[in-house]
């Protein structure tokens, strides 16, 4: 059961200069009826971003002891714990990561620690995407790839600086790379905040993407060496086996796999099982029940570098309940 004291958490990520602080200030102004605790993750000794936050009263907490995702960091746990004691001072928490953070590491305590949902619940990871520079960032950095792979909402920013057709191209590209995310766009003169707050990660995962009617199909998208593999299966999975095999895969291919996310039709459960990688861990949660008349299908997406579909498909097939029982 979720405690009524639970505090929702939003993570804002995105590459260096993507517009995170600009967006955060807009968000704070827009949500002025809500008391926000803002955690600023600074890189380097002297944090400055905290000073750029204009209107969160004194509820800005800086973690400038290196990047939380690298040092992760007793400091972060300590901060979460001490903020919980002061929970009467805020309604929601917003964490702005550094531009080179791996958001999976920052999300990790919320997704992998049992019972954390009674205290803090991760509602959405918003990844800001610089309309002008994202293609270069994707070409040159693992960090930008990881951020886009982990975002629930990919918010293209600085749209005032690009042509409409380039924006449409980017929207399509991002959706292909991360088919589970919701892609939105805005700039400092206006962000789609209503749409953003209508979305929660649990519902985004369940609603998107559209299922293919072709069973056991594979949809593959490649951009440079960045590959997104989406598998659809109609037969139920042996979920314990799938969990085990995916964890092994994640550990052996940690360098290459940025993200695994799946809505699984599992033999053992009436509800959708939602799997997602958090670095090399696999977090499991349960979605809504399958309806009687509904077409039950699993959809699993792998995002990574130079991923080869046949190996993944073979591993997945071995975890189908009928195959595993033989
Ligand atoms: N034209 C334009 N400029 C923007 C927009 N959003 C942010 N900027 C500018 O982009 C620069 C970087 O914005 P920030 O909000 O500081 O970006 P950030 O992601 O917090 O940056 P780091 O913390 O250094 O990673 C600033 O000069 C902003 O004024 C936008 O929508 N349009």
| Domain ranges for the chain | 7-206, 209-325
What is the DSSP code (8-state) at residue 285?
E
* Summary mean pLDDT of the chain: 84
Q: Closest Cα to atom 9, ligand 1: which residue?
A: 19
Peptide bond into 246 cis (omega under 30): no
The answer to whether ipTM exceeds 0.85 is yes
More confident residue, 239 or 79: 239
Condensed to tens digits (0 to 9), the pLDDT of residues 246-276 reads 999 888 887 888 888 888 999 989 999 989 8
Question: Ligand 1 site: residues with CB under 6 angstroms?
Answer: 14, 16-22, 49, 99, 157-158, 160-161, 187-188
Pick the CATH number of 7-206 from 3.30.565.10, 3.40.50.300, 3.40.50.2300, 3.20.20.10: 3.40.50.300
Q: What is the mean pLDDT of residues 171-177?
A: 93
Condensed to tens digits (0 to 9), the pLDDT of residues 143-160 reads 999 999 999 999 999 999
pLDDT number for residue 314: 92
Q: What is the mean pLDDT of residues 57-68?
A: 56
Partners of 266 in the beta sheet?
Answer: 237
Q: What is the mean pLDDT of residues 46-65?
A: 53
What confidence tier does 211 reach under pLDDT thresholds 50, 70, 90? very low
- Using the mean position of ligand 1's atoms as its centre, give its distance from the Cα of residue 6 in Å: 32
Q: Which residues of the chain form beta strands (DSSP E)?
A: 7-14, 36-41, 60-63, 92-96, 120-130, 153-157, 182-185, 218-223, 226-233, 257-264, 271-278, 281-289, 298-305
More confident residue, 138 or 51: 138
What confidence tier does 188 reach under pLDDT thresholds 50, 70, 90? very high
Ligand 1 atom nearest the C-alpha of 22 is 15
91 in helix, strand or coil? coil
Question: Architecture of 209-325 per CATH?
Answer: 2-Layer Sandwich (3.30)
More confident residue, 124 or 222: 124
Structure tokens at 46: 């002297």
pLDDT at 53 over 80: no
- Using the mean position of ligand 1's atoms as its centre, give its distance from the Cα of residue 69 in Å: 22
- Rounded CA-CA distance 260/237 in Å is 16
Condensed to tens digits (0 to 9), the pLDDT of residues 225-242 reads 788 888 999 999 999 999
- Using the mean position of ligand 1's atoms as its centre, give its distance from the Cα of residue 148 in Å: 18
Q: What is the mean pLDDT of residues 102-122?
A: 89
pLDDT at 129 over 90: yes
User: Which of 13, 19, 54 best tests ligand 1's pocket when mutated (most atoms within 8 Å of CB)?
Assistant: 19
Question: Could you give the C-alpha distances from 218 to 213, 228, 303, in angstroms and in order?
Answer: 12, 10, 13
Phi, psi at 177, each rounded to 5°? -70, -45
Lowest mean pLDDT among 91-95, 239-243, 252-256, 317-321: 252-256
What confidence tier does 43 reach under pLDDT thresholds 50, 70, 90? low
Asked whether 153 and 41 are in contact (CB, 8 A), the reply is no
Lowest mean pLDDT among 63-77, 167-181, 195-209: 63-77
Give me the long-range contacts of 44-49 (CB less than 8 A, separation at least 24): 49/21, 49/96
% pLDDT > 70, the chain: 83
More confident residue, 115 or 237: 237
């Amino acid at each position: 059961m979720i405690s009524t004291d639970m505090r929702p958490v939003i993570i804002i990520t995105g590459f260096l200069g993507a517009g995170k602080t600009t967006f955060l200030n807009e968000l704070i102004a827009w949500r002025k009826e809500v008391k926000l605790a803002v955690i600023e993750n600074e890189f380097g000794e002297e944090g400055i971003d905290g000073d750029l936050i204009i209107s969160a009263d004194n509820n800005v907490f800086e973690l400038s002891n290196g990047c939380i995702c690298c040092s992760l960091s007793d400091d972060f746990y300590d901060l979460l714990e001490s903020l919980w004691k002061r929970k009467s001072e805020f309604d929601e928490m917003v964490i702005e990561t550094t531009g080179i953070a791996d958001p999976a590491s920052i999300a990790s305590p919320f997704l992998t620690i049992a019972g954390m949902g009674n205290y803090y619940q991760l509602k959405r990871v918003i990844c800001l995407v610089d309309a002008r520079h994202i293609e270069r960032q994707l070409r040159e950095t693992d960090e930008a790839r990881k951020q886009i792979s982990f975002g629930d909402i990919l918010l293209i920013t600085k749209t005032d600086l690009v042509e409409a057709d380039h924006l449409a191209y980017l929207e399509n590209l991002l959706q292909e790379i991360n088919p589970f995310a919701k892609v939105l766009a805005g700039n400092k003169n206006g962000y789609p905040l209503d749409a953003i707050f209508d979305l929660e990660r649990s519902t985004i995962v369940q609603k998107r993407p559209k299922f293919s009617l072709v069973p056991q199909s594979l949809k593959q998208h490649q951009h440079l060496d960045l590959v997104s593999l989406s598998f659809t299966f109609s037969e139920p999975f042996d979920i314990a086996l799938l969990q085990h095999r995916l964890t092994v895969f994640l550990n052996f291919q940690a360098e290459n796999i940025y993200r695994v996310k799946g809505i699984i039709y599992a033999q053992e459960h009436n509800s959708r099982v939602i799997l997602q990688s958090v670095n090399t861990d696999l977090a499991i949660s349960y979605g809504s029940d399958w309806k009687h008349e509904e077409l039950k299908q699993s959809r699993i997406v792998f995002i990574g570098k130079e991923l080869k579909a046949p190996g993944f498909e073979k591993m997945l097939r071995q975890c189908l309940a009928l195959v595993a029982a033989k």
